[in-house]
Amino acid sequence: MSRSKKIVRNLVIFLGLCLLFITQTALYLTPLSAHEHSERSLHYGPSEVVHVEDFDEGKYILAKYDKWFSCNSVERTLGFFWRSGGGSNGTENDKTKAVAFSWSASYEHCVAYGIINDDRVKRIELTLSNGQVLTQTKFYDRMFLILWTEKNGNNYFEKLIGYDASDKVIFESELP
């Protein structure tokens, strides 16, 4: 076998092994493909991606599907691959509440997210256990995403409040 044929053969074998590695290890080339595969593996979706937010180890993907909403994390690994970090299962939107929400924490990364069902809500405030207040006035198709990091392990979600344009409380909830 000539040298050029050996090079082509070895290249085809190498590419085949790379493809096998990627498909068998749940690694993906884009964050959205990792998100979509995560949903499929849970028999959920496909959801409509509403917003993508960066964090230091990856991205949060805020999405809606039917009567559910979700916030899935995808993480960068091995330099340029992506894998699901969790959270793609949805939370049902309780439309009887002005704001339906959920929250999660993974290591030091914490996230509160939800959907606004009452159009009067113009501002969301999240109070943490140390008294710090995080505010969001920019919404993504009536959805919100509030991120914070917790390095001490004791500064978690305590209360969520939704205000109208004149700062009147429309919704208030303690830790779910």
pLDDT above 70 coverage of the chain, percent: 88
pLDDT tens profile 17-58: 877 776 666 777 787 777 777 766 666 667 788 898 888 888
Tell me, what's the pLDDT at 81? 81
Joined tokens for residue 4: 């050029």
Topology at the third CATH level for domain 96-176:
Immunoglobulin-like (2.60.40)
pLDDT tens profile 116-145: 999 999 999 999 888 889 999 999 999 999
d(CA 123, CA 164): 7
pLDDT tens profile 75-120: 888 788 887 776 656 788 999 999 999 888 777 788 889 999 999 9
d(CA 153, CA 4): 58
Q: Give domain limits for the chain.
A: 27-92, 96-176
Tell me, what's the pLDDT at 96? 92
Cis peptide before 46 (omega within 30 of 0): yes
Q: Which amino acid, residue 154?
A: N
The torsion defined by the Cα of 30, 36, 38 and 40, in degrees rounded to 10, comes to -150
